[in-house]
Amino acid sequence: MSRKNHQKIDGRLLRTDKRMGHLKQKQIEKISDWLYEAYQMHYQTLNRPPDKRHIRAIVNAAYDKIEAADIWIPL
């Protein structure tokens, strides 16, 4: 049985089962840097490491930069 794992979205053929390993190395590095920056920002704001309650805000801050850089990852 063949499984379709690509969709045409906004005129671009995109892989719908994409994982971190499918990204280019530079994209992975950028995302890691953005996550680290967001983590550091929360750390400096709270004066302690962020806990589970702050994870969503950290990920959202990084995801905004991912979208701005036009890196497509499925949700």
Nearest to 34 by CA among 68, 73, 72: 68
Backbone angles phi, psi at 74, to 5 degrees: -75, 150
Measured between alpha carbons, how far is residue 15 from residues 29, 51, 58, 62 in Å? Answer: 20, 33, 25, 21
Q: pLDDT per residue over 15-51, tens digit each?
A: 666 677 778 899 999 999 999 999 999 999 999 999 9
Domain boundaries, the chain: 20-68
CA distance 73 to 54: 22
pTM: 0.74
Q: pLDDT per residue over 13-22, tens digit each?
A: 566 666 777 7
